[in-house]
Amino acid sequence: MTTALVTGANRGIGRAFAALLVERGATVYAAARRPDTVDLEGVEKITLDITDPAAVAAAAELAGDVDLLINNAGISTGTPLLGDLDGIRADLDVNFWGTLSTVRAFAPVLARNGGGAVVNVSSALSWFAFPGTGSYAVSKAANWNMSNALRLELVGQGTQVTSVHLGLADTDMAAGVDMPKTDPAVVAARVLDGVDAGDLEVVVDEWSAMVKASLAKDPREFYAQFLTA
């Protein structure tokens, strides 16, 4: 039986992961900065701020039976790269450094428990930039290639690393955007099915698949829609 830790489990995709894992019979540590905001039954709520090394270490000590780590916690400050440096650093601190810190802490735990798997929730914005998303896109690009590198570093202990890419999900982060959105429950199901199938990447929606395919083409074709004076 799987024992999973999900970061950012109090809402959105993280909550959907935790709920579906419980439904599928897993033991679940639902981690959040404020665990009192986790409203799910059948989970163990734990306090975790992934930007706090001491909190990450404590979580790895507490959840010593984990064989599935889902790095879902993330932020988007909406900061352009020529904007406020504090906003840029905040995106990178959570989406790259915090995620890496969590993997580093749990890698020995996973090794002791047979290898298991790491899921890093990234974005279609790993592969492109959109006006107003500069720092978020950079942080998610770093998150994506971090998964590629960790996959190589963890293969020796039998740990699978799966990177997740999607466009908009129906979460608080995308609340102000009037575009089609994927139900978080659908995201969670596709990802967990992908992990079970041994997928190295889960590309959740057609938009993300289109963006990934565009990388093999002349970038002028893709960015023509944004490069207007």
CB < 8 Å & 24+ apart, contacts of 144-147: 144/120, 146/96, 146/99, 146/100, 146/120, 147/118, 147/120, 147/122
CATH number for region 3-223 = 3.40.50.720
Sequence ranges of the domains in the chain: 3-223
- Going by the DSSP 8-state scheme, the letter that residue 182 receives in this structure is B
Confidence at residue 130, expressed as pLDDT on a 0 to 100 scale: 85
Strand partners, 30: 6, 45
Of 29, 45, 136, 212, which is the active-site residue?
136
Active site residue 140: yes
The percent of the chain in helix, strand and coil, each rounded to the nearest 5, is: 50, 15, 35
Confidence at residue 169, expressed as pLDDT on a 0 to 100 scale: 63
Of 29, 45, 140, 212, which is the active-site residue?
140
Confidence at residue 53, expressed as pLDDT on a 0 to 100 scale: 97
Per-residue pLDDT of the chain (229 residues; tens, 9 = 90+): 699 999 999 999 999 999 999 999 999 999 999 999 999 999 999 999 999 999 999 999 999 999 999 999 999 999 999 999 999 999 999 999 999 999 999 999 999 999 999 999 999 999 999 888 999 999 999 999 999 999 999 999 999 999 999 997 665 565 565 656 689 999 999 999 999 999 999 999 999 999 999 999 999 999 888 877 5
Through-space distance between the first and last CA atoms of the chain, rounded to whole angstroms: 56
List of residues 6+ apart from 81 with CB closer than 8 A? 88, 134, 135, 138
Active site residue 217: no
Confidence at residue 175, expressed as pLDDT on a 0 to 100 scale: 52
